[in-house]
Amino acid sequence: MRHRIYEQRESQDAFTDVLFNILLGFALMFMTAMLLMQDPNEQGKVDPKAEILITVRWPDRHPDDVDTIVEGPRGDLLWYNNRDAALMHLDRDDRGLFADHVVLDGVEVSNPINQETVTLRALQPGEYVVNLLHYKSNYLEPLPVDVKVEKLNPEVSLVYYGQRKLTGAGDEQTALRFTIGKGGEVTGTSELPKRLVARVAKDRS
């Protein structure tokens, strides 16, 4: 009788061990899956690693070409032919309708958005000048161009938002001048004109 009870208990213990090991395996697989899972909301997020974002935009599908020119505190000049100047980067050079086509699923479609973006990857103390150049004009009417400057860290804050009306090919206007302090803060802004095209032409030659 005792021998039969012992065999029954031994069988139960073995079953319990197997069941425990199975449950442990499932637990380990579940934990591994949870660690490997990626939040779908995180997909597509891009860390721009930028401190300042400058956005220049004019009406969609408009054929005119507007160029953004930025001068840094040390005199570095950013423009379409010098897209990386010190810590400044021209991320998008838009030429109106020219080359505004992309291929999606084998079909060529037109990108209607006219927009240029400049990022400052780090902040140097001093004054930055943001100019607009009406490089190519197709109409007599003034072209409205919106300019937005945002400081991205430690949180997004608006430094400037305004509109300039460019009056034809060759028209250059200063949209904004802003000053960065030693601590990385924006200490002042102005719209005092400063021509930069002459320097661009000199650099091209």
Q: Are residues 38 and 82 in the same domain?
A: no
**Higher pLDDT pick, 18 / 77:** 77
Cα–Cα distance between 171 and 164 in angstroms, integer?
11
Q: Are residues 156 and 88 in the same domain?
A: yes
Q: Are residues 129 and 168 in the same domain?
A: yes
Q: Are residues 120 and 24 in the same domain?
A: no
User: Is 47 among the domain residues?
Assistant: no
Q: Are residues 33 and 117 in the same domain?
A: no
Angle value at C-alpha 29, between 27 and 35, nearest 5 degrees: 105
Model pTM above 0.95: no
User: Is 38 among the domain residues?
Assistant: yes
- For the chain, the domain total comes to 2
Q: Are residues 58 and 20 in the same domain?
A: no
pLDDT in tens, 128-157: 999 999 999 999 999 999 999 999 998 999
Q: Are residues 79 and 20 in the same domain?
A: no
The structure tokens 């990857």 sit at 121
Rg for the chain (alpha carbons), in Å? Answer: 30
Q: Are residues 23 and 114 in the same domain?
A: no
Q: Are residues 37 and 61 in the same domain?
A: no
Average pLDDT on 66-70 reads 96
Length of the chain, in residues: 205
**Higher pLDDT pick, 36 / 166:** 166
Chain centroid to Cα 34, Å, comes to 31
The H helix count followed by the E strand count for the chain is: 2, 13
Structural domain containing residue 60: 52-204
Q: Are residues 75 and 176 in the same domain?
A: yes
